Copies of this chain bind each other. A is one copy, B any other.
Amino acid sequence: MRAGSPQKLIYDFSALKSDASLLGGKGAGLVAMLQLGLPIPPGFTLTTEACHAFYTKNKLPKSLVIELKEAIKRLERKTGRQFGGTKKPLLISIRSGAKVSMPGMMDTILNLGMTDKAAAALADETGDARFAYDTYRRYLSMYGEVVLGVHAAHFEALIETVKADKNYEHDHELSAEDWYDITQSIQKLLIQEGFELPKDPFQQLLDAVKAVFQSWMNPRAISYRKIMDIPDNGGTAVTIQQMVFGNAGDDSATGVAFTRNPSTGEKSFFGEFLMNAQGEDVVAGIRTPLPIEELQKILPAAYRALRRAEHVLERSFRDMQDIEFTIEHGKLFLLQTRSGKRTAQAAIQIAVDLVAEKKISRREAVSRISTQHIQSLLYPQIRPEDKTSIIAKGLAASPGAACGQIVFSPEEANLMLSEKRMERVILVRQETSPEDIEGMALAEGILTARGGMTSHAAVVARGMGKCCIAGCRTLEFRLGKVFLGKHELTSGSWITLDGSSGDVMLGQIPTHIPPPSAAFHTFMSWVDQIARLEVYANADTPQDVMLAKRFGAKGVGLCRTEHMFFEATKLAAMRRMILAKSGQERTQALGTLEKIQKDDFYTLFLALDGLPITIRLLDPPLHEFIPKSKAEMDTVATSLGDPDCISRMEALTEVNPMLGHRGCRLAVSFPEIYSMQVRAIRDAAHMCTKKPLVAIMIPLVSDPQELAHIRALCEKEAFGCPIGAMIEVPRAALLAGQLAKNADFFSFGTNDLTQTTFGLSRDDAAQFLSTYQEQDIFDQDPFCHLDASGVGELMEIAIDRARKQKPRLELGICGEHGGDPASIHLCHTLGLNYVSCSPYRVPGARLAAAHAAMKDNA
């Protein structure tokens, strides 16, 4: 605000050009419609600046009150009606409207200006007392609810009492007198509740404006913004218009229409309406609306006007519009237009159609589709209307929906599916560990009590494209039982998870996967033309590789060799190697493992069919292959015929395994492991007729000497393939220039880099990171979105130093962030060559890469 001259806070629709950040979406839409010559009720908008001023002063600023008074006067002049008047009373609507549409999140008040006298005047003027008092009682209920905070049920109850007294079944049976009585009972009720309706309707207007401003910060709106990533500081505009009445008689109606089908994207006018009703009746769902085609028969002129408006609006906004309209005595009024919400499928169909219709460019089509849209196409979904019986919420750790019978362990999953002939199971665990992988693979979905968005369960589930809800705090394992809030869970009970929302539901809820359309393929081809960053997939099995190819990955950016060893028979060989008593025993076990690895790589290479693959040598600490409990250790010892190996198993335990004996540190201690792996890769590659493009990647490098040492070790079994390093600890980033001398490429392991940069364990962070977000200390989870200021700067340092050493060094990222749009933007800006993510995130990543490239030219 400039000192001295208070900023103008209210604009008539005719006074300004359409600017959504100042006028909100609703206000801007009305200005635009006016300019397009479409019929709208006259009015004005209190800007978002007014909202800021309200929050700054914690009251309505004086200048705003003065402007508001003047604006009402202008409206009186324009309409020839009188606000709060006893003749031709002016009634107005007060509606919220932020820059970005937040449907249903904030408040609206209709019919303000109604008083006992104004109602009588309106009855007089229209000769329709029933209409006048119906309108009045609507106003009173809304004011009571929105401004005074009295629950709507109280007002409903008053109506129900009258209906019961008079033996009515439907509202339309209520007479003018009945509605009049109700307006009086509502006023009495408010007084009983300790409220008094201000006599002056302008005071009521001030209260209403205040209430709408305040609704910006209601918990519903706040959490909606959090989920939708809308900033909290935008504020809402308030649009005030003369009321038009869809409930003015049988030549009146109100409705909602879409210029295209919002479910399918089909190019056909779509909508519904109610005769003789006001807007909230459509929302309330008391009466069933009619399909929009019916309007053509009932009010053909209004219908024609609506279709004309619809054409004008879509042409003007070059997007599918969601239009609110009211017909008063046969005349059409448009109340709102905005880009319509749509399903993912519809979004793509519409974008592709609009390009075909030459309304938008391919680039614009690409810019309009969000990565969430794309991702949501790939997962099973639950229709919102089927979401009954939600009994808990957790972190939406891996999207999609799943339904199955509860099991509590991988063994139980196996048993249930094989012997008990269950068809689908959901694995419910305190948390998961690598030993649960087989169980996770068998399950439809995973629910855990602990762990955050990048806990083991979440990461593996996303990798498998499997639904997962993690960190479900109300899930408790106690005294050998499992509780979900007040519900005790038992094996075999049905449960349904929505991994896209974090909702846990009791029972079997139907799920469905929409098949990808032709439009989808067309669209993704445009995406790839625009993107500069290449998108690879993280894949460990031929199944993963097939998925990666199906989702358009350029190849495999990260193949984790350890995942090959968690299968039961392979795990046994791995354990024999780890627990070998002598060099000879170890060599023997390594021989077995080499055969296994060679076979695994061979089938992987066949699936790749010539696409490139980057294979990371063994990374996890050896104790990850060893069971944790004494009983399981005993079993292993027995199966190995080596009772002494228990102490060797115990000795492998680490205090901080994340920072322990893992990655290439294993190969410094046990060089034979990496040698075996490189030989297996080489020999498998030799077996292929179509030679795979293999690169070998060294994990957890922290020192140039170390990398030189490991590189030399690998090159002993060499076959000339590129050898690169993961940059996943800060020291590697800082020494990237020196590391580059011995690396053919770098891949940032941003999961570990985030852990070490923050000093934050992703396995343990869930329990306190949420507090950080609640208290606005962190505005995001650094394991979901790359931290630009810390981790990002280390990456920048590394890239800069690496490229100084080797200007054409290939640089990529293969952490979980590789599938996150915001992180992909950062990777693009930092100048990486590629990202690699789990196959299911590949299409979204391709789109995010295109979005990032478009920003360069914007």
Nearest CB of chain B from residue A669's CB, rounded to whole Å: 5
Chain B residues within 8 Å of A665, by CB: 768, 772
- Is A312 located at the chain interface by the 8 A CB criterion? no
The answer to whether A767 touches B661 (Cβ under 8 A) is yes
Q: Please list the 10 inter-chain residue pairs (A to B) with the smallest Cβ-Cβ separation, ordered nearest first.
A: A729-B759, A659-B761, A731-B790, A656-B761, A655-B763, A660-B764, A730-B730, A654-B764, A656-B658, A656-B656
**Seed contacts A702-B760, A706-B772, A752-B759; 20 additional CB < 8 Å A-B pairs:** A654-B761, A655-B658, A655-B761, A655-B763, A656-B656, A656-B763, A657-B764, A659-B761, A668-B768, A700-B759, A702-B790, A705-B777, A705-B778, A706-B777, A729-B758, A730-B730, A731-B789, A731-B791, A734-B793, A756-B757
Q: Which residue of B lies closest to A665 (CB)?
A: B768
Which residues, 744 to 795 on A, are CB-close (under 8 Å) to B? 752, 755-761, 763-765, 767-768, 771-772, 775-778, 787, 789-791, 793-794
Q: List 19 contacting pairs A-B, 8 Å CB cutoff, sorted by A.
A: A655-B658, A656-B656, A656-B657, A656-B658, A659-B761, A660-B765, A702-B758, A702-B790, A709-B777, A728-B759, A729-B760, A730-B730, A731-B757, A731-B759, A731-B789, A734-B789, A734-B790, A734-B794, A735-B790
| A757 vs B731: C-alpha distance when bound (angstroms) | 5
Q: Tell me the minimal C-beta distance from A11 to chain B in angstroms.
A: 37
* A:628-655 near B, CB below 8 Å: 647, 654-655
Q: Is the C-beta of A478 less than 8 angstroms from some C-beta in chain B?
A: yes
A455 to B: closest C-beta gap in Å: 10
- Docked pose: A659 CA to B776 CA in angstroms: 21
Provide the bound-state CA to CA distance between A668 and B765, in Å. Answer: 13
A810 interfacial contact with B, CB 8 Å: no
Kindly list chain B residues whose C-beta atoms are within 8 Å of the C-beta of A67. none
Q: Which of B760, B775, B793 touches A659 (beta carbons < 8 Å)?
A: B760
Contact code string A44-62 (vs B, CB < 8 Å = 1, else 0):
0000000000000000000
Tell me whether A669 and B771 are in contact (CB under 8 A): yes
Tell yes or no: A160 within 8 A of B by CB: no
A787 surroundings in chain B (CB, below 8 A): 731
Q: State how many angstroms separate the Cβ of A640 from the closest Cβ of chain B.
A: 17
Q: Annotate A786-806 by CB proximity to B: 1 below 8 A, 0 otherwise.
A: 010111011000000000000
Task: Verify if A703 is at the interface (C-beta below 8 Å from B).
Answer: yes
A703 touches B777 (CB 8 A): yes
Copies of this protein chain in the complex: 2
Q: Which residues of B sit under 8 angstroms from A656, Cβ to Cβ? A: 656-659, 755, 761, 763-764
How far apart sit A784 and B775, CA to CA, in the bound complex (Å)?
38
Residues of A within 8 A of B (CB): 478, 647, 654-661, 665, 668-669, 700, 702-703, 705-706, 709, 728-731, 734-735, 752, 755-761, 763-765, 767-768, 771-772, 775-778, 787, 789-791, 793-794
Contact B669 A768 (CB under 8 A): yes
A793 to B703, CA, bound (A): 14
Measured between beta carbons, the chain B residues less than 8 angstroms from A768 are: 661, 665, 668-669
Q: Nearest CB to that of A704 among chain B residues? A: B789
Chain B residues contacting A755 (CB-CB under 8 Å) are 656, 659
Q: Which residue of A654, A709, A787 has the most chain B CB atoms within 10 A of its CB atom? A: A654
* Alpha-carbon distance between A794 and B759 when the two chains are bound, in angstroms: 14
- For A735, list chain B residues within 8 Å (CB): 789-790
Please indicate the chain B residues that have their CB under 8 angstroms from the CB of A758 in the complex. 702, 729, 731
Q: Which residues of chain B come closer than 8 Å to A730, judged between CB atoms?
A: 730, 756-757, 759, 790, 794
Q: For the complex, what is the distance from the CA of A731 to the CA of B729, rounded to whole Å? A: 12
Cβ of A47 to closest chain B Cβ, rounded Å: 30
In whole angstroms, how far apart are the Cα atoms of A776 and B709 in the complex? 10
Q: For A476, give the chain B residue with the smallest CB separation.
A: B647
Alpha-carbon distance between A767 and B652 when the two chains are bound, in angstroms: 10
Name the one of B478, B647, B709, B778 contacting A703, with C-beta atoms under 8 angstroms: B778
Which residues of the other chain, B, contact A731 by a CB distance below 8 angstroms? 757-759, 787, 789-791
